[in-house]
Structure 1
Amino acid sequence: MNSLDENAHVIGRSGLPGLLFWQKLLPAFVFGILSIKWLIPSLAAFAVYAFILLALRIEKGTLGLLILIFGLGHFYALYSLPPEAGPMPKWMADREKVEVDAEVHSIKGAPGNRLKILLTDVVCTGSTGRTALKGYLNWTWDKPDQIPFAGQKVNLHVRVKPSSGFRNSGVWDYDFYCRIKNISYRTYTRGPLKKGGLQSYEPDFLQKLRSDLRKHILQNTPPTQGGALFPALLTGDRFFLSHDTVELIRRAGVSHVLALSGLHVGFIVSIGFGLAWLAGFIYPNIYLRLPRMKMGVLLSAPLVLFYLWLGQFTPSLLRAVCMFGFWGILLLMNRGRLLVDGLFLAVLLILAFAPLSVFDLGFQLSVLAVAGIALFYPQFHRLLPAGKNTGIKVVRFFLAVLFVSICANIALLPVLVWNFGVIAPNLFFNILFVPMLGLFIMPVCGAGGLAASFVNSALAQKLFGLGAMCFEWMLSVVNSAKLSGLLPEYASYRPLWEDLLIYYLLLGLVLLLLNGKKQQAGFLVLPLLLLACVRIYGEFGGKAVRMDLLDTGQSQCVVITGPNGSRTVVDGGGGFGKTFDMGASIVGPWLVSGHRPQVDYLFMTHGDHDHAGGLAFLLEKFTIGHFYSNGDIPDGITGQRFQKAFVQNKILPQKLHMGQVIELEPGLVMEVIHPSVDFEGSRNDRSLFLRLIWNGKPLLNISGDLDRKGVRAVLNSGRDLSAQVLILPHHGSAGAFSPALYEKVDPDIALAACGLLNRYNFVAKKVKVELAKKHIKLYTTADEGMISIVWSIDGLFEFVSVNNKKL
């Protein structure tokens, strides 16, 4: 129980660690790698870093060396970046099912009984012949009836799509993630394979051994969520965990317990150090020949390597083992500064062989967490109570666990918020989960149960069952806290790149001041002020109205920003299954990029999930000024979330009808064209038809999912429908085809929110033909990604898509 405290000399040494010369150069290499994705932010970060080093009077000629290393990082990353997949084959564009022959490269169990399988050497055979695909094919197998082996051949009869995600500016770039992983395509199957299948395969010795170990785990663990924990902890297989369990763990702020990483390597290392303690307990004189710390390292090494193999050499586990390896080597060499020097050596080795790892979120979190612990824990260590009685030792241990978690999260905070757009300040559950998992569930129930399964199944089942019961108890505690409102989660401002640099400069300033280095702290003031000026300047611009049609796949979300900064959201996208929340994953994070979680006006055209699904998250987590709809509230769980949010956040829903005008800002109004009070029709045909007007000039028409009857009602309303931009009704479907509407609106351009290779084939061919005949340019989110239109005060507008196409 005293391990954290006894090792305070490792992470608790007072003062700031100095850096060796080569360590000072490494950040320049990292900035160079990052510059292939974020050029301006990386150059700014490099300039700030170089300025600080110059102010500290570094060795002569170092600036030129830093520039050279920055360039080396940039070009090495470009060289390592896999090539793009190339143009889409015709059979793929036509959504044709093809015969796929490939080889399994890797298998990963995902929550909800899914397998994520990467296929290599992919050859597709269709109506146009055989096509060899570049890169990996990401095969999601839902509810599989068997588990393949790496190297096994497979034959599938499926549709193959490009591995394209939601392309919106300022948020996580799935397309770039797939590219650095060399994943070019994706496909999906559910249940037993009806055509083709896995070909016969004779696994090698190690594959058989790993498969046997997995069977031993599954045969002796209870069929509960507690039992599902052990495949996740021991092998990284989260196949048996439910989405509800994973979400509950996330809300508790302990998601790291499920991702095989440094925490789990630490658990394994604790077993090695426990064995070293046991050896000393039996034979105390052994420490005279080999000190306990060194013995612990040597006993841990084979266990860690075995765990790395059992966990299938996942990148996060490889990184953690690499760090442990360097820390162990430094400790055996009687070197100090274990965390700092070990971290730099590990980062250098990883980036030398895999420079694109720097874009991996797991890599970023690992490095920042260790850096936060190394830099901040000495400050918190001073707060631990003194004393040697058992009670004080227990308090010190649990406080040390909490302080380590706080130190890590200080460094992680802006990166976590940038990636997820929410804050869940529930660190106290680390005090429960980390010791319980590290001291009991994993070493005693997990490792002990696995070892016992080879000699005594009854004992193995008892150990696994005890661990499962403990985990389920912890989950029940978390769930009770959630139901009692004690698990807060807040939508948060997502920092821009200037904010990130300011945050870490402020952390450096605080650290220097805490360590009495006032002169060095002064060097950070100038870059802080410059970055603050850049950030403030970015908030000012000419008066303009901006419309962003987000890429939410086969759904729709429109965001309007007024000349005075008001924000209006029309629909929130949705419609991607029960486990994907469009609001939490896409719309919410995009809205808080450089903004507070606030929406002044929220319109819902109708209650279909592909328009309303993402709004539930906004109603729950954002400050909403006004909520408008046609009176149609979504069905099912989404509707329940709406109703609960209305009550908890005191939101008054307002029903709109034809003729009403909502003033968004002085001169900027939203006019309601449809439905009339007495209109009767389907849910789609009752959609709101909205018209945005600025200083008397009609800018934009938003038409929801209107079909024929609704469109006819709009045309017969007798109201002015003209606008520069028309968002096509019902995503451009054939059912909403209306030459009369296109003529009456007479837009310069038409937009459609629809998914790439969507199964409805939106936009319908006859809609495209008619728009072309009327010389109306058509743009879709399927082709362009997010589409933005900016109107200046003189009424002119500029069209820009996320892939930088301009009109």
Structure 2
Amino acid sequence: MTDKLLLTALALAAGSALARAPLPAALAAVISLFLLRRHLERWALVGLALVLALGALRARAAIDEAAALHARVTEALGPPGRCEGEAIVLRSPVVQRGEPAAPGEERGEARIEVELVQGGCERGPLEGPLRARLHGAPEDLARGDHVRLVADLAPVHLFLNESLPDPRPSIARSGVAASGGIVDLERISRGQGIPAWIDRARAHVRRRIEATFHPEAEPLARALVLGETDLHEADNEAFRRSGLSHLLAVSGTHLVLAVAGLAAAARALLLRVTPLSARLDVGRISAALAIPTSWLYADFAGGSGSALRAAGMLSVVMLVRALGRRPSGVRAFGGSLLLAAILDPLVGSDPSFVLSAAATAGLLGLDRPIAHHLVRGPALVRAVLRPIATTLAAMVGCTPFLAMMTPSLSLLGILANLVAAPIGELAALPVCLLHATLAWAPPVERGAALLGSGALIAVRAVARVTSDLGGIVTFPPPTPSQLAAVALTALAAALAKDALRRGAALALGFAALLVLEQGAAHAGNAQGRLRVRTLDVGQGDSILVDLPDGKTMLIDGGGFMGSPVDTGTRVVLPVLRALRKERVDVVVLSHPHPDHFGGLVSTLPAIEVGELWDTGQGEDHGAGPTYASMLANLRHRKIPIRRPDTLCGKHVIGGATIEVLAPCPGFVPDESANDNSFVLRITYGRRSALLVGDAEAAAERSLIEKNPAALRADLLKLGHHGSRTSTTAPFLDAVRPSVALVCSGVRNRYGHPDPGVLASLRARAITIARTDRGGDIVWETDGEAVHLTRPSAR
């Protein structure tokens, strides 16, 4: 563990953690250096501290540059609009078809990344190159292709919420800050060189897989061979819940198996060339050949981060072998990590990197100790227990980081891996890779497709059975402090000189995790305070209200029409889990529009719900099957659904006073859903927040006529995302807020918030906080003082 190369790599990679979570990362760094003081010279400790600082500076600069890039693209593009010009294809096309096509139905198209080198958009000509991710591209494009295109473009929406991982490193890593769909595309010239040839080979293999594999196995084969994660939704969920997703990902394990197998085959062939094998070590030749092969295969398989890093690590091992030296697993691991951290200052923010590194560290550090204690008995029993030990070693390393990416892990995952891994890695993988080379022999190709289909469907069957059996453990995502504690525990255990000290380090680390978990739960609770958290869900509303006694309200869940992005699974549920909230006491659907209830559809079944407040207009007028299924699910769970006739007036809930001001005594059938929005005034002590849904001018006039004094509030959530149809001057004069919240997204076509509304707010010296300008907003009060966490403060 005191290998200086490995420690240097870890310090450089950890710089991204120091840049994103300075306090826990800095504390962990100080303690780490203290633990290492007896194992390293003073100059080495100072060097590690300097490397860590350098990594943090590089990471911070990359994040700031990504934020500036996104701001420039947002300013240049404005709302979604039509752009046209010439572009260069930068990334391999990725096909995502979704569910199987019906007979006669046209198949889907590809997603590509391009650099627009000249052209213009509705706002004017482009100033400088612009990188964009586009859907709807022809599948036969290749990197380097020069195209002329027309596309609908908009800035990428970040969904920037303080409780969730920062999304800006992905922009820093890719340089892509805009996305959209292709309207028309014409290829001007074809790309040349190895990347273009690889992409054409990918397209050829994709066509052969589609032509020869069983329809149920075809998406699985494309995932395994090409890295196109395009499973049917039911299969995707089964693989995720069973812990078998890695078997279909082009992971480092797959790359090592494939390239090492080719190197072994090359060595066997070279051994048969007697004049060559008699004079040279053919193992060194095959190792040298494996280095370019590993990079070519990683690129062909989609160029994922884990595959490229595995290629780097394998290249280090093979280079050492080609030079005639004995490779060291630890030094090869350290060398590959150092190379990755040098090339990418934010590599520590890449989930695939973290998982690959954690799994490898688990194998290097825990495989032998676990095997020593577990693998015992007769030879047959040991043969069964040995892969269990290896799987446990890798899973122990990965578990804290898997918790960041998925809310649940399967207790049956180890058994599922024992059954499915041999089928996937020793049968499906080699057969599917062999199939990619057999187009010249159709009968043999069909036979390979038949065998590969059978193996893949068998793996899927294991995933489905495991998923159906349950055994899923759900837990909250670890905080930065908890991840720092995990890292410190691993370091202390690795440095321990005997089993007793190692056990003490693990026990202390476990205790620290429990204490930090209590702290995270306390931080997510606003005991004695009223906290209004406006989530960044794009062009929509979702507001989480923490009441003074610990109860929680959720008002709306955001949502998009005709988009695969689910704000419930993308934002609302992760925020609730990060804040350690398993129950929401009151869910309010302000009105039945998709940008308000869309995210609730996936959120509500996953949490405990006390009651739902609904205006009733959606059910009376018909708001569609999604809305109806949401209510049906709540009724099946016997969760009360309350209407305005039982809600209008004042309620003391959670230590705060909640007034339902509209629609009272019920919704007005002739009014729009917007003007029938719930209007809530939440008061704690001397401070109030007024939340008006999408109420427009007519609703505002009605509220003023009823009781203008009841509208006075310190915080106003603007109606209808800041539209010019809301927030009239008389309404502002009645409310007299000091802070105005605007819930809107950079990808809205409506011009929200309206410049006239913003001017009216500024004229009254009202502080404006917008979710489209930096993410979620938190307003809280103890009943007297008020604190606002504005996006610009992050």
TM-score interval (norm. to shorter): 0.7 to 0.9
Deviation (angstroms), 1:756: 1.2
Q: How do residues 314-329 of structure 1 correspond to structure 2 at under 5 angstroms? A: 314-329=304-319
Q: Is the 8 A contact 2:420 2:462 kept in 1?
A: no
Q: How do residues 653-802 of structure 1 correspond to structure 2 at under 5 angstroms? A: 653-657=641-645, 658-666=647-655, 668-681=656-669, 682-695=672-685, 697-708=686-697, 710-718=699-707, 720-736=710-726, 738-794=728-784, 796-802=785-791
Q: Is the 8 A contact 1:217 1:230 kept in 2?
A: no
Q: How do residues 164-175 of structure 1 correspond to structure 2 at under 5 angstroms? A: 164-175=157-168
Q: What residue in structure 2 maps to residue 158 of structure 1?
A: 151
Deviation (angstroms), 1:509: 5.9
Q: Is the 8 A contact 1:269 1:303 kept in 2?
A: yes
Any idea what the Cα deviations from partners look like across 1:546-584, whole Å, max 9, x if unmatched? Answer: 111111101111111233433221111122645322121
Any idea what the Cα deviations from partners look like across 1:620-676, whole Å, max 9, x if unmatched? Answer: 22233343333456632464355336535x53333344534443323x132212222
Q: What residue in structure 2 maps to residue 591 of structure 1?
A: 576
Paired residues in the alignment total 765
Distance 1:654 1:672 in 2: 12
Distance 2:94 2:45 in 1: 47
> Percent same amino acid at aligned positions?
20
Residue 486 of structure 1 pairs with residue 470 of structure 2: yes
Q: What residue in structure 1 maps to residue 452 of structure 2?
A: 467
Residue 40 of structure 1 pairs with residue 38 of structure 2: no
Q: What residue in structure 1 maps to residue 793 of structure 2?
A: 804
Per the alignment, do residues 21 and 504 of structure 1 end up closer, same or farther by CA in structure 2, a change over 3 Å counting? closer
Per the alignment, do residues 231 and 271 of structure 1 end up closer, same or farther by CA in structure 2, a change over 3 Å counting? same
Deviation (angstroms), 1:723: 1.4
Deviation (angstroms), 1:47: 0.8
Distance 1:318 1:788 in 2: 40
Residue 116 of structure 1 pairs with residue 116 of structure 2: no
Deviation (angstroms), 1:156: 2.4
Gaps of 5+ in 1: 1-17
Q: What residue in structure 2 maps to residue 137 of structure 1?
A: 131
Q: 1:617 aligns with which of 592, 602, 613?
A: 602
Per the alignment, do residues 281 and 644 of structure 1 end up closer, same or farther by CA in structure 2, a change over 3 Å counting? farther
What is the DSSP-based 3-state SS (H/G/I as helix, E as strand, rest coil) of the residue aligned with 2:90? Answer: strand
Q: What residue in structure 1 maps to residue 500 of structure 2?
A: 518
Q: CA RMSD in A?
A: 3.9
Any idea what the Cα deviations from partners look like across 1:754-804, whole Å, max 9, x if unmatched? Answer: 11141122223443344445554433211242111121332x312222331
Residue 265 of structure 1 pairs with residue 246 of structure 2: no
Distance 2:207 2:678 in 1: 53
Q: What residue in structure 2 maps to residue 405 of structure 1?
A: 391
Deviation (angstroms), 1:704: 1.8
Distance 1:183 1:314 in 2: 16
Per the alignment, do residues 216 and 773 of structure 1 end up closer, same or farther by CA in structure 2, a change over 3 Å counting? closer
Moved more, 764-773 or 591-600: 764-773
Q: Is the 8 A contact 2:677 2:694 kept in 1?
A: yes
Any idea what the Cα deviations from partners look like across 1:170-219, whole Å, max 9, x if unmatched? Answer: 31222332023222333322xxx43x532132644773465246324523
Distance 1:638 1:426 in 2: 35
Q: What residue in structure 1 maps to residue 85 of structure 2?
A: 100
What is the DSSP-based 3-state SS (H/G/I as helix, E as strand, rest coil) of the residue aligned with 1:140? Answer: strand
Moved more, 470-479 or 43-52: 470-479
**AA at the equivalent of 1:413:** T
Any idea what the Cα deviations from partners look like across 1:300-354, whole Å, max 9, x if unmatched? Answer: 6675354234235443322111112333455678977843232112112222333
Q: Under a length normalisation based on structure 2, what TM-score does the superposition of the two structures give?
A: 0.85
Any idea what the Cα deviations from partners look like across 1:84-126, whole Å, max 9, x if unmatched? Answer: 3264586623655332322111124153345332223533325
What is the DSSP-based 3-state SS (H/G/I as helix, E as strand, rest coil) of the residue aligned with 1:45? Answer: helix
Moved more, 346-355 or 199-208: 199-208
Q: Is the 8 A contact 2:161 2:536 kept in 1?
A: yes
Gaps of 5+ in 2: 98-107
Q: How do residues 494-513 of structure 1 correspond to structure 2 at under 5 angstroms? A: 494-507=477-490
Q: How do residues 98-497 of structure 1 correspond to structure 2 at under 5 angstroms? A: 98-112=83-97, 113=108, 115-120=110-115, 122-126=117-121, 130-134=125-129, 136-142=130-136, 144-189=137-182, 193-194=183-184, 197-201=186-190, 203-204=192-193, 207-208=196-197, 210-212=199-201, 214-219=203-208, 220-222=211-213, 224-238=215-229, 241-269=231-259, 271-272=261-262, 275=265, 304-311=294-301, 313-329=303-319, 338-382=328-372, 383-388=374-379, 392=381, 396-397=383-384, 399-427=385-413, 428-444=415-431, 446-454=432-440, 456-476=441-461, 478-479=463-464, 482=467, 484=468, 486=470, 488=472, 490=474, 492-497=475-480
Per the alignment, do residues 80 and 706 of structure 1 end up closer, same or farther by CA in structure 2, a change over 3 Å counting? closer
Distance 1:425 1:576 in 2: 37
Deviation (angstroms), 1:259: 3.0
Per the alignment, do residues 714 and 223 of structure 1 end up closer, same or farther by CA in structure 2, a change over 3 Å counting? farther
**AA at the equivalent of 2:582:** P
Any idea what the Cα deviations from partners look like across 1:597-618, whole Å, max 9, x if unmatched? Answer: 3323322223322112222333
Distance 1:301 1:91 in 2: 43
Per the alignment, do residues 92 and 276 of structure 1 end up closer, same or farther by CA in structure 2, a change over 3 Å counting? closer
Deviation (angstroms), 1:489: 6.6
Per the alignment, do residues 571 and 529 of structure 1 end up closer, same or farther by CA in structure 2, a change over 3 Å counting? same
Per the alignment, do residues 639 and 339 of structure 1 end up closer, same or farther by CA in structure 2, a change over 3 Å counting? farther
Distance 1:277 1:638 in 2: 62
Distance 2:463 2:477 in 1: 27
Any idea what the Cα deviations from partners look like across 1:151-179, whole Å, max 9, x if unmatched? Answer: 11222233433334112113122233202
Per the alignment, do residues 593 and 443 of structure 1 end up closer, same or farther by CA in structure 2, a change over 3 Å counting? same
Distance 1:583 1:637 in 2: 14
Distance 1:301 1:122 in 2: 34
Distance 1:384 1:296 in 2: 33
Any idea what the Cα deviations from partners look like across 1:218-272, whole Å, max 9, x if unmatched? Answer: 234337241233333223244x644554344323322223332212113314634
